Structure 1
Amino acid sequence: MLRGLLTSAMGEREVVKVKRRVSRNVRDQAFEGTPSGPRRFGWKPADPKAGRKVNEKLEPEEAKVLREAVELALKGKHWATIVKHLDDSGYLTVRGNKWSTTPVQYMLTNPALCGYRMINGELVHDRKTGKPVIGKWETVCTPEEWRRLVARCNVWFNPEGDTASTRYREKVKREGRKDYRGIAEATRRFLLTNIARCGYVKDDGTMCLAKMKGMGPTGTNKQDRYRCGDPRCNKVSRRADLMDDAIKRMVIKVLEEQYSELVPQERSWYGEETLNALLAKQQEIKDAYKAGEIGLSEYLEFKDDNDAQVAASQKDRDDFYAEQAAKNFLAGFSAERWEKEFDMRQRRTAIAIVLQAVIVHPLPQGRSRSSRFDVDLLEPVPRKRY
């Protein structure tokens, strides 16, 4: 039994050593900018005879399809549109599977697209300069485009590697900002879901204001409809196509006034050097503590202050690119772009930027439900900045 326990302990120790060597090798390759890992879609496999490493050179045809998917995502196209584009290309994933939303989102937020590497949810930075390490492989987008893709996917990275979209919603709520993207992604079919609200006046004089749900044809109703989603009310219903058309015309008019003359901008964030210096200082503090040059008390004091500055700087950068992306999305807007270029997701996003809600008031007493559609019973509620 003792011999068995000793043998088991020695085996576990070897496993730990192997894991450490592998982890150290991965980190060393990341700091050196060496391509590694399994083959990614868009890059060629390893070829020892030609001296080519895996994921070092782009595969021209796959890279073209990948770049087109990147451009669709940057334009704000719905994930279903991007998945269809990849399906239509005739290519499967590197594992031979069909494309679906989640793998596509992971693929388009991989920092390798722009030459970056990430370990445990944290970008690998040069220890001397504090700048992200640029890998020695061909890329398909710029770092600025990659950050926009990350924001497009509602993914927020942190040192713990938590990338769940719930963190994005919590961040938005905590900072008191508006989550236009959450509104826009609510449904794939109905244009005004989460925007249309019931305007029925209750006995106490207050309006219901429950969100109206999109419903398909049922019973004597031969058309799609929006209906109050509160089972205790459920008293207001209106034809979806007529509501959509009325609100669409109003939103297009506002967008043309606000954005038709706006020119897209691709400016780099002004604080990149400051953030890089803070990240370099962060690494210096860690190295000094590991080397025993400073004690735990000093380490915590320096670390907390530096971490707070890094967090504030990163938030400023994220807000800068988010604001620029929102403006570029609608820059040069026209009714023709709405009809020919915008898919359902982009249209819902545009409406959510202009309107807080659309109150759907009930039909006046005595008016037949089959009477002509009355646009005056729709009350658009614009967002404050409009």
Structure 2
Amino acid sequence: MPHSGPRPFGWQEDRITLHPVEAPLVEKAIVDRVGGKTVRAIAHEWCDLGVTGTRGGRPNAATVTQIMTAPRVCGYRANRGELLLAPETGLPALGRWEAIVPPHRWQAVCATFSAGSLYMHRGSGAPRLNGQRAAPRYLASGFLRCGARRRDGTVCNGPLCGQKARSRRSPYVYTCRDCGRCSISGPLADEVLERLVFSEAPGQVRLPESVHDRWRAGELQLEEKRKIITSVVTRCVVRPGVKGNPSWDYSRVEPVWR
């Protein structure tokens, strides 16, 4: 039988019937995590949707992880990190509540977290075990290369990685993790990448205007946009900006066409 205490996220007050809004969110989160999305990204999505926990708090990576990996989501029950087993069969005991996902999906999402007790030792920073890389969070991730010159005169060519920034004008930036001498505003870099792909691409890789219309209409997901970019450019070299110059120079981003 369901235990007492706060209502578990994903179920209604009877703790047996699935919640019509929360349960689909949990199911999608499990699918997304197994597919490579980070827990932090899932938590941000929930916050953007206005989702709150059963106690009124905003979801974060830790709480989303606990919700996804709780044995309850597939009908199982655990106590102190160990599954409760039916004595007559030795198999996991099934609760009377409705399951959100089948056991194999719950096992798959648990396998994306670190070793140890799957129900006690877990967290958003835990290493992944299924061999899949986390899905990119930013449009230009993987496409930008550092164009800064090293002391020996060679070009750095390190990848520019997206990260959050404490700025209203630029909530995230792309920064070189190799030399640290090249950084570019995230939204502006994404804007110039879109401009290159649809307005400046040479004839052999130019895309139809209908694709651009879908892009601007918001009909394309991040993964679809990145596939479009991949079909046009192999990478873009970003030259370091000039300190004290607030103007945006589109020529800083030099594409390498397919």
Are 2:201 and 1:241 aligned? no
Query: Structure 1: how far apart are the matches of 2:197 and 2:82?
Result: 42
Give the corresponding residue for 1:35.
2
Query: Structure 2: how far apart are the matches of 1:134 and 1:349?
Result: 42
Are 2:126 and 1:162 aligned? no
TM-score, length of structure 1 as denominator length = 0.42
Residues 234-281 of structure 1: CA distance to partner in whole angstroms, max 9, x if unpaired? 25758413444268779xxxxxxxxxxxxxxxxxxxxxxxxxxxxxxx
Q: What amino acid sits opposite 1:58 in the alignment?
A: T
Query: Structure 1: how far apart are the matches of 2:197 and 2:108?
Result: 27
- Runs of at least 5 residues in structure 2 that lack an aligned partner in the other structure: 202-213, 241-246
**Contact 1:224–1:241 (Cα < 8 Å) also in 2:** no
Name the structure where helix makes up a greater proportion of residues.
1
Question: How far did residue 110 of structure 1 move?
Answer: 1.9
Give the corresponding residue for 2:243.
none
Name the structure where strand makes up a greater proportion of residues.
2
Structure-2 change in CA distance of 1:164 and 1:68 (3 Å)? closer
Give the corresponding residue for 1:66.
22
Query: Structure 1: how far apart are the matches of 2:224 and 2:80?
Result: 34
**Candidates 102, 106, 110, aligned match of 1:142:** 102
Structure-2 change in CA distance of 1:148 and 1:233 (3 Å)? closer
Structure-2 change in CA distance of 1:350 and 1:37 (3 Å)? farther
Query: Structure 2: how far apart are the matches of 1:349 and 1:158?
Result: 37
Q: What amino acid sits opposite 1:41 in the alignment?
A: F
Structure-2 change in CA distance of 1:197 and 1:128 (3 Å)? farther
- Secondary structure, aligned partner of 1:378: strand
Question: How far did residue 112 of structure 1 move?
Answer: 0.8
Are 2:145 and 1:202 aligned? no
- Secondary structure, aligned partner of 1:191: coil
TM-score, length of structure 2 as denominator length = 0.58
Give the corresponding residue for 1:191.
139
- Identity among equivalent pairs (%): 20
Query: Structure 1: how far apart are the matches of 2:107 and 2:197?
Result: 31
Residues 200-233 of structure 1: CA distance to partner in whole angstroms, max 9, x if unpaired? 3435354323443667989xxx989966546966
Give the corresponding residue for 1:110.
70
Q: What amino acid sits opposite 2:3 in the alignment?
A: S
Query: Structure 2: how far apart are the matches of 1:202 and 1:232?
Result: 8
Residues 1-386 of structure 1: pairs in structure 2 closer than 5 A: 34-38=1-5, 39-45=7-13, 55=15, 57-58=16-17, 63-73=19-29, 74-75=31-32, 78-85=42-49, 87=51, 93-94=53-54, 96-101=55-60, 102-126=62-86, 129=89, 131-150=91-110, 154-156=112-114, 158-159=116-117, 161-169=120-128, 171=129, 177=131, 179-181=133-135, 184=136, 190-193=138-141, 196-204=144-152, 206-212=154-160, 228-229=175-176, 234=181, 239-245=188-194, 339-340=218-219, 342=221, 346-347=222-223, 358-362=235-239, 373=251, 377-379=254-256
**Contact 2:141–2:161 (Cα < 8 Å) also in 1:** yes
**CA root-mean-square deviation:** 4.8
Query: Structure 1: how far apart are the matches of 2:8 and 2:250?
Result: 57
Q: What amino acid sits opposite 2:194 in the alignment?
A: D
